[in-house]
């Protein structure tokens, strides 16, 4: 049996406070629901839970343009009405509204992804989770597809400071266009997107879109049709990703785990079950390469929460009871109250011949690439924002004041595991019904 992975899970309880609008399908509240399930299952005992620092405007401009970030940092619904010429340039109408607190929401999402990448860089974790991240459509100069800041690009840029090669994997139903575009000309990032292609947002991701210049061949697109089920998905996912890992040999994997590819999603058109979706996460974990799992799409929020809680358990190596434990949002999961997102009986338009043909095209693309492109070795520069890793910063604070038992960052970031509130696990189980762990649960 292999050693248990060191898992770090980023969560800021404020992320659930933001609202795109009553009729908007994107609901940040789903992160709060997912975290409540994670805590109710006791998964916080199996990993480090950290409140991420908010990303600064300077950090965001490592990818995004200064003028876009300046506008985003001050935009409100009122400003958008007063400056329609700017709103029309930087925001995309109803998809990306100027809701209250939009910039703060972005700093939470991006802050967790940047901090998670640093944690991998400094060897503090083998697996990192930030379900508030994964906003893959945002462009350098504008918002797109419910996404304002591309936290994924920012995380990959951070990882590239320590790792020669990074694989970006996207299993959202929508093409990961913003990330692919950002790295379309480099051979240091291989982007792999499994998505619905055709008359569907964003309309990109043809199998022959492969990159340009030095990046030619390093963008891999797997266009899929409506109704793909678990068996069909795995039939193309596993061989493609096994070939990518063998050919490219990345130092880290960033995986966007959008759940709009699940059966029954309000926007998606695939037919994956929760287990089929999670099988992709488990397969990528099996390579033993540092893995960063992010959120993304997902618009049937009870199924989003179920799946991300289940995939958190996969990452920490725990089995979960299929009967849901009581949690803050228990009524959302009725009438079955089970940890399951089953596939439906919708028809699968992905024939065996179509999948074989697509896989053959991608195999030829990979075959033409050199093994593991070389990058000149150099010392990793200091973190661009002057910040040390978490451990180094804590040591400095404790050296300055040795009477302290814990640094200020540790006190602020730490979420106390349930086990530390009790003398034994038996006591913890006995008191669970009394909700004495309320301090760990996200507020309503």
Q: How far apart (Å, rounded) are the C-alpha atoms in residues 24 and 39? A: 27
Alpha helices in 254-370 (DSSP H): 274-285, 301-316, 352-367
For the purposes of burial, counting CB atoms within 10 Å of the CB of 131, is it exposed (0-12), middle (13-18) or buried (19 or more)? buried
Would you call 137 a catalytic residue per the annotation?
A: yes
From 312, 288, 298, 233, select the one nearest 262 (Cα to Cα): 298
DSSP 8-state symbol, 144? B
Query: Where are any strands of DSSP class E within 225-280?
Result: 252-256
Is residue 187 within 8 Å of 178, Cβ to Cβ?
Answer: no
Contact by Cβ (8 Å): 327, 39: yes
What tokens does 87 get?
């709103």
Indicate the helix (H) or strand (E) that contains 387. Answer: none
User: Alpha-carbon distance 403 to 401, whole Å?
Assistant: 6
Report the alpha-carbon distance of residue 76 to residue 67 in Å, rounded.
16
Q: Which residues pair with 254 in a beta bridge?
A: 168, 292
Name the catalytic one among 35, 137, 163, 174. Answer: 137
Which residues are paired to 130 by β-bridges?
294
Find where tokens 């945002």 sit: 138
Residues with Cβ within 8 Å of 19's Cβ and at least 6 positions away in sequence, in order, are: 27, 28, 29, 99, 100
- Round to the nearest angstrom and report the end-to-end CA distance of the chain: 40
DSSP string, 53-86: PPPPHHHHTTTS-HHHHHHHHH--HHHHHH-HHH
Q: What is the spatial distance between Cα 81 and Cα 310, in angstroms, rounded to a whole number?
A: 42
**CA-based torsion, 316, 309, 121, 398: positive or negative:** negative
Nearest to 249 by CA among 187, 184, 185, 166: 166
Coil/strand/helix, residue 222: strand
Cβ-contact 153, 179 below 8 angstroms: yes
* 239-253 per-residue burial string, b: 16 or more CB within 10 A, e: under 16: ebbebbbebbebbbb
Residues serving a catalytic function are 137
């Amino acid at each position: 049996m292999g050693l248990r992975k060191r898992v770090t899970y980023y969560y800021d309880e404020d992320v659930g406070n933001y609202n795109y609008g009553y009729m908007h399908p994107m609901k940040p509240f789903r992160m709060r629901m997912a975290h409540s399930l994670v805590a109710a299952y006791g998964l916080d005992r199996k990993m480090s839970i950290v409140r991420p620092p908010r990303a600064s405007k300077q950090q965001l401009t490592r990818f995004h343009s200064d003028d876009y970030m300046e506008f985003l940092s001050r935009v409100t619904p009122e400003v958008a009405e007063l400056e329609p010429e700017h709103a029309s340039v930087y925001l995309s109408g109803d998809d990306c509204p100027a809701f209250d607190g939009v910039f703060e929401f972005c700093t939470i999402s991006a802050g967790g992804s940047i901090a998670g990448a640093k944690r991998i860089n400094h060897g503090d974790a083998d697996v990192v989770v930030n379900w508030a991240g994964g906003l893959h459509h945002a462009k350098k100069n504008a918002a797109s597809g419910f996404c304002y800041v591309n936290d994924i690009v920012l995380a990959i840029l951070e990882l590239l400071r320590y790792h020669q090669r990074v694989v970006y994997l996207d299993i959202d139903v929508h093409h990961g266009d913003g990330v692919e575009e950002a790295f379309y000309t480099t051979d240091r990032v291989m982007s792999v997107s499994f998505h619905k292609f055709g008359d569907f947002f964003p309309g990109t991701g043809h199998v022959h879109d492969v990159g340009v210049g030095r990046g030619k061949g390093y963008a891999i697109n797997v266009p899929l049709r409506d109704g793909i089920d678990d068996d069909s998905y795995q039939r193309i996912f596993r061989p493609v990703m096994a070939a990518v890992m063998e050919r490219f040999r990345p130092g880290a994997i960033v995986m966007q785990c959008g759940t709009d590819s699940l059966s029954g999603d309000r926007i998606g058109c695939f037919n994956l079950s929760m287990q089929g979706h999670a099988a992709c996460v488990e397969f990528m974990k099996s390579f033993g390469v540092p893995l960063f799992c992010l959120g993304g799409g997902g618009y049937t929020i009870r199924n989003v929460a179920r799946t991300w809680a289940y995939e958190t358990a996969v990452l920490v190596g725990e089995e979960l009871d299929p009967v849901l434990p009581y949690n803050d949002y228990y009524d959302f999961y009725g009438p079955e109250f089970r940890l399951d997102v089953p596939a439906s009986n919708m028809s699968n338009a992905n024939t065996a011949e179509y999948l074989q043909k697509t896989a053959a095209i991608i195999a030829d693309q990979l075959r033409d690439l050199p093994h593991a492109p070389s990058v000149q070795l150099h010392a990793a520069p200091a973190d661009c924002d002057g910040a040390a890793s978490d451990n180094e910063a804590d040591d400095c604070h404790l050296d300055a004041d040795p009477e302290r038992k814990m640094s200020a960052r540790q006190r602020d970031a730490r979420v106390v595991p349930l086990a530390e509130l009790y003398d034994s696990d038996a006591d913890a189980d006995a008191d669970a019904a009394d909700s004495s762990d309320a301090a760990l649960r996200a507020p309503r």
